[in-house]
Amino acid sequence: MALFGTDGIRGLANRDLTAELALDVSVAAAHILVESSSNKDHRPTAIVGQDSRASGEFLEAAVVAGLTSAGINVYRVGVLPTPAIAHLVAESKADLGVMISASHNPMPDNGIKLFARGGGKLDDVIEARIEARKGEDWERPTGRNVGRAINDDTATERYLKHVLASVQTPLKGLKIVVDCANGASSFVAPEAYRRAGAEVIAIFNQPDGWNINDDCGSTHLHQLRAAVLKEGADVGIAHDGDADRCLAIDAAGNEIDGDHILTILARGFKARGVLKGNTVVGTVMSNLGFMHAMKDAGITVVTTPVGDRYVLENMIANDYSLGGEQSGHVIMRDLANTGDGILTALQLLQEVVRTGKTLQELAATMVRFPQVLINVKDVAKDKLTQSTVINSAIKSAEDRLGDSGRVLLRASGTEPLVRVMVEASSDSLAQEVAQQLADTVKKEISL
């Protein structure tokens, strides 16, 4: 089984993802960094951050130990969003970034995300090289050749300055609630929105090491919905544990997902003449309603496999400026080189102020097709595409739905399961077809 998934290494902390593994991966990454450096007299540097999980404490210690023992100078920035690490790597011209986080996963999980020079995620080839060299024998530096670990107390303010530089229209007059998921955005998101001019009510912004994503954040929107309605707020913003996602709630309590946000931003970008190629990049999971909304707006949609790294790769290859996922990962290449939930929220809120329309009115330009997603657990996900029975069931479902629906089955890149997604003209039809397919998957490739 591959060590790296679609978004780095992820697993149950201290069981799948151990301190020993974190140290070995860090050493291997350091070796590749040193060997690929064009300046052999340059001592490589790394930025290391984490979300608020208790397990991040021992994993950070292991990562720092691995990197410094291999001769890398490490700047420790503490609890900050994943996109902050990407930005800081680019800004400081560091050779590597390491974010210790399992994003939206439950607290017992954790993960390691690696960023290359310039702040982009490592490509698959480099990850494969790191995995292949994990645990190899090596000559250890001594004396002045070992790396140093430095606490960087300026990182938070530098990241805030970066995101606030994107604010051209102050958010004066907006009352917002932000759910920080007791995660990495807890200390920066409320401050960013206040400095941008909004009246801010922060909830779930008191991380204690155990409560990250615990019935809060972008995967549990009912808490934010209740707070928006109670406070009479204009908008609710929800982040996940590492704050690379943004979802929203409008003043009436409706959920505004990543496809709605992309629709609003794409129309706004086009109106201001900054939508490069008149194109937005989505994924195979993008809702049919998003596709229709973009067609109505005269905007082209290009789709990629699920994963913001694939969205970004397509954007870079074709020089597009906007892309993202239904889950709330949104990439604006003129502002950042990775998905950033806080930047996304600031751009979304500016569209509300610029247009003078409510978030509900802006989101109404996209009518979401009913979608059902069923996670089928305990199956041999690597056999998904090999089953003729499953392939036949997919073909039958597609014939039944015609142009008014869509079917997608895919193996999760971060969890041991198969995802069955069905969109249809009605909830009942989507549910019926999805359940039939899920039952077929369970029967045919069950472990």
Which domains, from first to last, does the chain contain? 9-153 (3.40.120.10), 166-363 (3.40.120.10), 371-445 (3.30.310.50)
pLDDT at residue number 39: 66
**Percentage of the chain exceeding pLDDT 90:** 86
Of 57-66, 152-161, 303-312, 361-370, the least confident? 303-312
Handedness of CA 94, 157, 83, 22 (dihedral sign): positive
Q: What value does the mean pLDDT take over residues 215-227?
A: 97
pLDDT at residue number 414: 64
Of 404, 263, 410, 420, the C-alpha closest to 347 is 263
pLDDT at residue number 193: 98
Q: Please, what is the Cα angle at 2 between 184 and 5, to 5 degrees?
A: 30
What are φ and ψ of residue 290, in 5° steps? -65, -45
Q: Tell me, what amino acid is at 78?
A: G
pLDDT at residue number 1: 54
pLDDT at residue number 114: 95
For the record, the structure tokens of 169 come out as: 């229209």
* CA 37 and chain centroid, separation: 29
Task: Give 423's contacts (C-beta < 8 A, 6+ positions apart).
Answer: 287, 288, 369, 370, 371, 372, 401, 405, 406, 407, 430
**pLDDT at 282 > cutoff 90:** yes
- Any idea which residues carry the catalytic annotation? 103
Helix (H, G, I), strand (E, B) or coil at 18: coil
pLDDT at residue number 21: 97
Determine the Cα–Cα distance for residues 73 and 67; give it in Å rounded to an integer.
Answer: 7
Q: Buried b / exposed e across 214-248, counting CB within 10 Å, b at 16+?
A: eebbbbbbebbbebbeeeebbbbbbbbbbbbbbbb
pTM (2 d.p.): 0.89
For the record, the structure tokens of 124 come out as: 């698959």
Listed in order, strand segments (DSSP E) in 189-298 are 199-203, 235-238, 247-250, 255-256, 279-283
**pLDDT at 6 > cutoff 80:** no
Q: What value does the mean pLDDT take over residues 261-269?
A: 98
Of 17-26, 73-82, 347-356, 414-423, the least confident? 414-423
Helices 258-271 and 288-296: crossing angle in degrees, nearest 10, is 10
For 420, the enclosing helix (H) or strand (E) is strand 417-423
Handedness of CA 401, 435, 102, 66 (dihedral sign): negative
Q: Please, what is the Cα angle at 241 between 238 and 247, to 5 degrees?
A: 25
Mean pLDDT of the chain: 94
Q: By the 8 A CB rule, do 190 and 205 touch?
A: yes
Q: How far is CA 280 from CA 1, 4, 83, 271, in A?
A: 34, 28, 21, 14
Determine the Cα–Cα distance for residues 134 and 140; give it in Å rounded to an integer.
Answer: 15
**pLDDT at 297 > cutoff 70:** yes
Of 5-9, 60-64, 128-132, 174-178, the least confident? 5-9
Q: By the 8 A CB rule, do 24 and 430 touch?
A: no
